[in-house]
Amino acid sequence: MSANKCNLSNITAIALGSNLGDSHAILEAAIDVLAQMPATRVLSKSSWYFTKAVGPPQPDYLNGCALLQVEMIPEFLLEILLKIENNFGRLRNQRWGPRTLDLDILLYENRIIETPKLQIPHPRMRERAFVLVPLAEIAPDWIEPVSGLAIKELLKDVDCSDVHKEGY
């Protein structure tokens, strides 16, 4: 890995989602791919949650979150996540449309990044129960750097009625 793509170990939170194909198998396979990547270690993953889709009419999603330890800059991590999505057949035909796999960087340490290609923290995570519920399961005390609030505190401000743990 070149020096501009390498960084000392950082903790990042990512969201995973799928609503096309065998979503459970796709999400588990995506975790396996992440675990096998050089310079990446999966520290924990949440349960999977069924959630109502945001956007145009489409099937419900299966969502979750994972904490990764990475030795790369956020921009390079984004490139890798986009390649993984593509390898799982992700097509970008419609904004917020159905997808085989969606991978989003939610948090990267306590950094705030705003570039044309990347915003960290994820700009809509604070209003999305399908992100906050699984993230609170694995990182309830992580402070979201824009609001200064812990994930478990942010969760109190969203409607979680459409988020259901898989198997329940």
β-pairing, 49-51 with 113-114?
A: unpaired
The yes-or-no answer on residue 124 being catalytic is no
From 114, 150, 116, select the one nearest 13 (Cα to Cα).
150
- The pTM of the full predicted model, rounded to 2 decimals, is 0.90
The yes-or-no answer on residue 32 being catalytic is no
Of 104, 111, 124, 128, the catalytic one is 104
The yes-or-no answer on residue 90 being catalytic is yes
Q: Tell me which CATH homologous superfamily contains domain 3-165.
A: 7,8-Dihydro-6-hydroxymethylpterin-pyrophosphokinase HPPK (3.30.70.560)
Percent of the chain with pLDDT over 90: 77
Least confident of 29-33, 78-82, 92-96: 92-96
Q: How far is CA 140 from CA 47, 72, 93, in A?
A: 14, 24, 34
Q: How far from each other are the two terminal CA atoms of the chain, in whole angstroms? A: 43
Domain ranges of the chain: 3-165
User: For residue 90, with 0-12 CB atoms within 10 Å meaning exposed, 13-18 middle and 19 or more buried, which class applies?
Assistant: middle
The residue with greater pLDDT, 26 or 86, is 26
pLDDT of residue 100: 87
pLDDT of residue 122: 93
pLDDT in tens, 104-154: 999 999 999 999 999 999 999 999 999 999 999 999 999 999 999 999 999
The yes-or-no answer on residue 162 being catalytic is no
Percent of the chain with pLDDT over 70: 90
pLDDT in tens, 23-77: 999 999 999 999 999 899 999 999 999 998 877 778 899 999 999 999 999 999 9
Of 32, 60, 95, 99, the catalytic one is 99
Of 90, 111, 124, 157, the catalytic one is 90
